[in-house]
Amino acid sequence: MPSERQGPPTVRLRRLAFELRRLRDTAGLTQQQVAEQTGINTATLYRHETARSRPQRRTLIALLNLYGATEQQRTDLLALSREADAQGWLRPYHAELPEQYTAYISFEAEARSVRNYESLFIPGLLQTEDYTRAVIRGGLPMASQKEVEQRVQARMERQNLLTTDNPLRLWAIVDEAALHRLVGGAEVMRQQMNRLISAASEPHVTVQVIAYAAGAHAGMQGSFVLMDFPNPADPEIIHIDSMAGDLFLETQPDVRRYSLLFDNLRAIALSPDDSTRLIASVATGAQ
């Protein structure tokens, strides 16, 4: 039976796919040539190279033989394949969430650090439960109460990543507009501002605000998240959430472009201390 993936891609499965693409490119072979020489059809090869499925052991060995992989590469990639389906902390009810959201959850759970820019919302990892519920209800007006609560629960569970013994490192940049948008009412916003101030005091969390006075800036095009992982062999990943759906990017040009964009936003944003003072002033006004 084929070892088809039964859930969102993991970091390990993504790394395996990346290495298979790299080895094929190094061997100077097209997918069609690989199919002709191994009997693996191009559709299956495409799924293996895009982390949509994990190759069976005999298929992986056939590919490694064709690509002339070294003994160390064979050992590493066979071990990687055995672990490729291991999920992070996905819960049973996550099967009812959209696949792209569970993919995001899986990647985030294995990340070492997250850089998040938000133009309209408070970053999900720093939201209060009431703010989250108001955001989801407003953004998904056709969702049932059960669907809303599942998403709220998932977002609250994600925040546990910030309170472990080895917490996720978070650098969050928020446009000032997100602080003033009255989501859920004045009391919800006051609590949310206090939550931001509290989070910003943690050594592994940095919060910056791009003030209105900064004028037009590159982040006005939309929000994005960059994640990197403990193992340097795991490519960084970019997540973009839009009305057209979720998009994951991992090519070096994309990673470089968004890293530079984040650095630009970090430079024009208020310092962490000045950002905290601005958030505190908004909290006072929300009372």
Whether pLDDT at 182 is above 80: yes
Tell me: the pLDDT tens digits for 217-236?
Answer: 999 999 999 999 987 777 78
Tokens 């969430």 belong to 97
* Beta bridge partners of residue 210, listed in sequence order: 175
Q: 54 is written with which tokens?
A: 């994990």
Cα separation, 48 vs 35, whole angstroms: 13
pLDDT of 13 reads 78
Closest of 113, 261, 270 to residue 179, by C-alpha: 270
The mean pLDDT value of the chain amounts to: 87
Look at residue 86 and give its three-state secondary structure: coil
DSSP secondary structure letters along 115-140: EEEESSS--GGG--HHHHHHHHHHH-
92-285, CATH topology level: Endonuclease; Chain A (3.30.870)
Q: Which residue has the higher pLDDT, 15 or 270?
A: 270
Highest mean pLDDT range out of 64-73, 163-172, 249-258? Answer: 163-172
Instruction: Classify burial at 193, counting beta carbons within 10 Å of its beta carbon; exposed 0-12, middle 13-18, buried 19 or more.
Output: buried
Dihedral sign from CA coordinates of 136, 137, 141, 144: positive
Please state, for a pLDDT cut of 70, what percent of the chain lies above it.
Answer: 88
pLDDT greater than 70 at residue 97: no
What is the architecture, at CATH level 2, of domain 11-83? Orthogonal Bundle (1.10)
User: Residues 121-143: what's their mean pLDDT?
Assistant: 96
- Strands 169-175 and 205-210, how do they pair? parallel
- Contact status, residue 278 vs residue 213, Cβ threshold 8 Å: no
Q: What is the pLDDT of residue 86?
A: 55
Looking at residue 202, its pLDDT comes to 97
Q: Which of the pair, 206 or 241, is modelled with greater confidence? A: 206
* Domain residue ranges in the chain: 11-83, 92-285
Mean pLDDT in residue range 53-68: 90
How confident is the model at residue 3, as a pLDDT? 44
In this prediction, residue 6 carries a pLDDT of: 47
List CB contacts of 135: < 8 A, sequence separation 6 or more.
Answer: 121, 127, 183, 184
The CA-atom distances, in angstroms, between 4 and each of 51, 129, 151, 213, 225 are: 10, 36, 26, 51, 28
Helix (H, G, I), strand (E, B) or coil at 77: helix
Name the DSSP letter for residue 10: P
What would the pLDDT profile of 21-57 be if each residue is shown by its tens digit? Answer: 889 999 999 999 999 999 999 999 988 887 778 888 8
**CA 271-275-281 angle, 5° bins:** 150
pLDDT band (50, 70, 90) for residue 99 = low
